[in-house]
Amino acid sequence: MFFLFENTAKVDYKIMIYLSQDKELMGYRLLDACPFLAHFVTTRRGGVSWGPYASFNCSPYTQDASIHVMQNQSQLLYLVQHPVRQLVLPHQVHGCEIQTIGADFLTRPQEEQRTLLEGVDALITREPGVCIGVTTADCVPVLLCDVKRRVVAAVHAGWKGTVKHIVALTMQRLHAQFGTEGPDVLAAIGPSISLSSFEVGDDVVEAFREAGFAVDALARRFPVSHGLSAGTSSSAVVSSSVDVSSPAEDYVSGKYHIDLWEANRRELLEAGVPAAQIETAGICTYQHYDQFFSARRLGIDSGRILSGIMIVE
């Protein structure tokens, strides 16, 4: 059964493409063109979960009924249309721990695997048929592929992980373990909260500044305007015609907003990934919560988007 909230906002899918007939899965043209690669980003369509998990929640680390998660994962693996030996998802904590999924990990008992996945926010593998992924609901999912060495990574980059440079650290791990160089990497920055919607306190801006980010380029303090008082929450105002790639005056509150997409794109550029090899979905989960899960909209106890990537066998 399929339940979604009504929303008049229309997503302008300039980069992302549908990978399944009924639009349960989306993807990136850049990654889709790679012949040895399978990848996907789940939408809210096509699952069996209810309420704030409706309907295609594939995350086992939520309060969703486990039977629903298992059914949704089974449907996901069917839609991928490639043999999947194992689906590996970390228990994320907004940190910067990275786990490489190799033969040693895969031969361990399930309980040991679960332990190794605790507190991990990025996965790397070169094992064919092993699908790695991260789950998000406003945080930034980043998928990476070293096309020369056939190694992939999935990164969960919330604002805390971004401040801790998790994307840069993943690139460093790829280089240390496999010899990855920036020019050999394809990268996709997935659906997540946009600058227009990501209102933060001054402490968050200061954390970015202290971490070495160019805050002047990433953060804007939106002036109160259009009749909004200083006490009006930006979450109470939703526009149906917002360009999610740029600041929108319909979302102003007098507080800072930060561009997580650009912050992570800059991390990739600094790691040597060419700009032409980075795709940004440009889809705001907060504004399009009817199609993608958003914790700020639906609450923490809600479903998660699953962004996965795999070397095909």
Q: Hey, where are the domains in the chain?
A: 16-181+285-311
**What does residue 219 show for φ and ψ, rounded to 5 degrees?**
-120, 145
**What does residue 231 show for φ and ψ, rounded to 5 degrees?**
-90, -5
| Confidence band, pLDDT 50/70/90 cuts, at residue 240 | very low
C-beta of residue 112 within 8 angstroms of C-beta of residue 140: no
Buried b / exposed e across 159-183, counting CB within 10 Å, b at 16+? bbbbbbbbbbbbbebbeeebebbbe
DSSP-H helix ranges across the chain? 29-32, 66-80, 103-106, 110-117, 159-163, 166-178, 202-210, 215-218, 260-270, 295-298
Under DSSP, is residue 117 helix (H, G, I), strand (E, B) or coil? helix
Q: Would you state the pLDDT for residue 22? A: 97
User: CA separation (Å) from 226 to 22, 120, 232, 245?
Assistant: 40, 43, 11, 21
User: CA separation (Å) from 42 to 92, 106, 221?
Assistant: 18, 25, 32
- Residues 106-128: what's their mean pLDDT? 99
For 190-236, how does the pLDDT look when each residue is reduced to its tens digit (9 = 90+)?
999 999 999 999 999 999 999 999 999 999 997 764 333 333 333 32
The CATH class of 16-181+285-311 is alpha beta
For 248-260, how does the pLDDT look when each residue is reduced to its tens digit (9 = 90+)?
444 456 899 999 9
